[in-house]
Structures are given as C-alpha cells and as structure tokens.
C-alpha cells in the first residue's frame, strides 16, 4: 500500500470524524477476536474494547512526548559539541532553530498533555536508540535542511517541521513500527490515526496560547463512548439473526471463499443501520465499505457493496430502518 496515499486518506477522515471511524475499527478488531475465541464473554469483550481505545489515546500522547524527546536529543548533541576539547566554530555557534522551535514549548507546557502523561506514566526513557535513529532520519531530510537554512522562520514553518516529522518519518520507518508491535498489540493499526490527531492538534496551536488549551479528548462526547459499547453488544446479540440475513444474499457465492472478516463487517453494517437511528444509512454504508478496503481482501469492498446494498433495500421495504433526528426523518 502507498503510505502517503493511506495517510492522506486517513487525515481526510480524521478531520471529519476521527472518533467514529476509530471506534468502528476498534470494535471490529475486538469482535473478530470474540467470535474466534472459545468460551468468551460479552463483558470481557467490552472491557477489551474500552482498553483498546484507551491504549490508542496513550499513543496519541506518546507522539507528543516523542517530539519533545527528539528535541531533547538534539539539545544534548549541541551541548556535547560545545564540550569538545577543541571545538569548531559551528560547535560554539550552533544553529538552534530546531531546538528553539516554539511549538515544543507549547507542547511541554500544555496542562492536558502533561497531566495525562504523568497520570499514566508515559515516557520514552527506555528507548534512546530509537530516538537517535529517528533524529538521524530527520536531519538527513531535505525539508529539515531547508528549515534550518531559511533566513527567517514564521510560526507556521515551525509547526510544519513537526508535522513533517510525524507524517514523513514515522509511517514507513520499520524500526518504529516494530517498536509499536512490541509495546502493544493494540497499536498495530493506530499509528496513522494518532499521527492524524496530533497533526490536527498542532494545526490548532497558536502562538502565546494558554497552557490550559485543550487537546482532543478520549471521546468526542458521551454519545461516542456509548456508541462503541452499544455497537459491540448489539452485534453480538444480533449475530444469529444477521448471519441468517447475510446467508440469504450470498447463496450464489462460494461460502468457503467469503472471508470471515467480510461477514463480520456486514454484520456490523446491518446492526448499525438498524439499531442506531441517529446515524444516516449512507454514512454507515460508506464507512464499512472503506473499512473493508483496508481490513479484508482486495475484492471485499465490491462484495460488501453489492450484498449490503441489496440487504438495505429489503430492510427499507420491510420498514426495519427507522431514522430519527434533525434531517434524518424520512432518510430511510
């Protein structure tokens, strides 16, 4: 997959509805494990879902800390050069534009970030080599060289260098992705989303802003937290019913060739369309088609598109889709 294309795709949805997209994917992952496991329980699956969401929020904050630790590493290099027995001119007169980047101070002094990382004991102290490797990638880049050499630097340019670090250096850096896998099984698919959240946060930062400027909450609102838990529970409770419905519309398909992930995505889509009156059918439909492109086979999106479209037509004809709320009445 083209990493830049995937990041752009992700950022597009981050700007619109990061919470719901991520919650659907987290729920999909937990449900997949739930139906594969033997003697599993719904309360356990719900607990697993909430823990997975919380770990994603941990990563969001760790990315802020990563930027600060890269700055700290750069500062130590400058100080080490100054302490040489025979320092050169550049050692005594270093370019400190990067370490003096005003965005670092805004991150460091942000009360929401500092309180969360302190409460959850988040840090990079045990990974100095990883910080070093990321820094080496950064200083070898063309965008960093231009940033350091330009005569004057505006706040927007200071912000862009941090955006570039996040979007250009982490997504395809094998050492970093391996570190994610080693640290948490929940982070395999979180990096692109959390990079997008941090980028959006940085783009909202302004010069001389207050230290109590809020960052993204774990949930956009109570409705989103309830959405994730209800979606999980409803899919489990409707499993037999949804399976029968799907079977009716896949009779002409080779059952053994239908990916189990496809069936699960269809179950989630049907459940959301029928059980969540405030979510437009079109939103649910499009969301699960897009999710299928990244979490199932190459042919999955076409398969799910065709089957789900037919199921929706039937559900509508039977009056089983009832939407409520502003602009949704009659949407079914």
Q: Where are the domains of the chain?
A: 3-204, 238-317
Confidence of residue 215 (pLDDT cuts 50, 70, 90): very high
The pLDDT, as a whole number, for residue 257 is 56
C-alpha distances in Å from residue 213, one per residue of 24, 62, 110, 208: 28, 18, 7, 11
Least confident of 17-26, 120-129, 133-142, 216-225: 17-26
Task: At 226, list the tokens.
Answer: 């309830």
Q: Which of 3-17, 87-101, 139-153 has the lowest mean pLDDT?
A: 3-17
Mean pLDDT, rounded, for 66-88: 91
Find tokens 């937290």 and name the residue: 225
CATH code that applies to domain 238-317: 1.10.940.10
Q: Name, of 8-17, 37-46, 305-314, the range with top average pLDDT.
A: 305-314
Weakest mean pLDDT among 26-30, 161-165, 205-209, 297-301: 297-301
Does residue 13 have a pLDDT over 80? no
pLDDT for position 5: 42
Angstrom distance (rounded) from CA 119 to CA 186: 20
Q: Percent of the chain, pLDDT > 90? A: 72
Q: Which two tokens stand for residue 229?
A: 């838990």
CA-to-CA distance for 267 and 261, rounded, in angstroms? 10
Tell me which of 81 and 161 has the higher pLDDT.
161
CA–CA separation, 138 vs 162, rounded Å?
10
**What secondary structure does DSSP assign to 236-305, as a single string?**
HHTHHHHHHHHHHT-TTS-GGGS-HHHHHHHHHHHHHHHH-TTS-HHHHHHHHHHHHHHHS-TTHHHHHH
- 93 falls in which pLDDT band (50, 70, 90)? confident
Please give the average per-residue pLDDT across 193-217, as a whole number.
94
Model confidence band, residue 58 (pLDDT cutoffs 50, 70, 90)? very high
Mean pLDDT, residues 320-330: 69
- pTM for the whole thing? 0.85
Q: Cα–Cα distance between 99 and 148 in angstroms, integer? A: 11
Instruction: Break the chain down into helix, strand, coil percent, rounded to 5.
Output: 70, 0, 30
Give mean pLDDT, residues 160-183.
93
Nearest to 264 by CA among 294, 285, 284, 243: 243
Cα–Cα–Cα angle for 5, 8, 13, nearest 5°? 130
pLDDT at 325: 63
pLDDT tens-digit profile of 183-200?
Answer: 998 887 889 889 999 999
Residue 211 token pair:
């230290």
Mean pLDDT estimate for the chain = 89
pLDDT at position 6 is 40
Please say if the pLDDT value at position 323 is more than 90: no
Predicted pLDDT of residue 297: 82
Q: So what's the pLDDT on residue 222?
A: 85
Closest CA to 143 of 195, 98, 193, 77: 98
For 307, the 3-state DSSP assignment is helix
pLDDT (average), residues 134-147: 97
Pairwise CA distance, residues 63 & 171, whole Å: 12
- For 19-32, what is each residue's pLDDT tens digit? 688 899 999 999 99
Average pLDDT over residues 124-133: 96
Whether pLDDT at 331 is above 90: no
């Amino acid at each position: 997959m083209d990493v830049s294309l995937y990041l752009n795709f992700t950022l597009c949805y981050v700007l619109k509805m990061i919470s719901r997209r991520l919650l659907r994917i987290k729920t999909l992952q937990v449900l997949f494990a739930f139906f594969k496991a033997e003697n599993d329980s719904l309360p356990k699956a719900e607990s697993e879902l909430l823990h997975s969401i919380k770990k994603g929020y941990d990563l969001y904050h760790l990315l802020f800390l990563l930027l600060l630790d890269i700055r700290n590493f750069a500062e130590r290099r400058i100080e080490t050069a100054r302490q040489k027995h025979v320092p050169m001119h550049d050692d005594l007169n270093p370019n400190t534009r990067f370490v003096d980047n005003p965005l670092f101070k805004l991150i460091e002094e942000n009360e929401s970030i500092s309180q969360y990382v302190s409460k959850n004991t988040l840090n990079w102290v045990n990974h100095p080599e990883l910080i070093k490797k990321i820094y080496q990638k950064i200083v070898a880049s063309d965008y960093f060289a231009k940033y350091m050499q330009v005569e004057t630097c505006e706040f927007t340019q200071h912000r862009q260098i941090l955006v570039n670090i996040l979007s250009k250096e982490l997504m395809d850096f094998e050492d970093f992705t391996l570190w994610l896998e080693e640290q948490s099984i929940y982070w395999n698919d979180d990096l692109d989303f959390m990079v997008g959240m941090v980028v959006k946060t940085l783009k909202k930062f302004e010069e001389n802003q207050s230290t109590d400027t809020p960052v993204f909450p774990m949930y956009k609102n109570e409705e989103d937290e309830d959405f994730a838990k209800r979606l999980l529970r409803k899919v489990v409770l409707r499993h037999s019913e949804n399976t029968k419905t799907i079977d009716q519309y896949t009779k002409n398909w080779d059952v053994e060739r239908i990916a189990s992930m496809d069936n699960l995505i269809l179950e989630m889509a049907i459940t959301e369309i029928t059980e969540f009156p405030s979510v437009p059918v079109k939103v649910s439909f499009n969301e699960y088609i897009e999710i299928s492109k990244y979490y199932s086979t190459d042919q999955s999106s076409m398969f799910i598109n065709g089957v789900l479209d037919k199921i929706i037509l039937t559900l509508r004809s039977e009056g089983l889709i009832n939407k409520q709320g502003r602009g949704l009445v009659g949407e079914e």
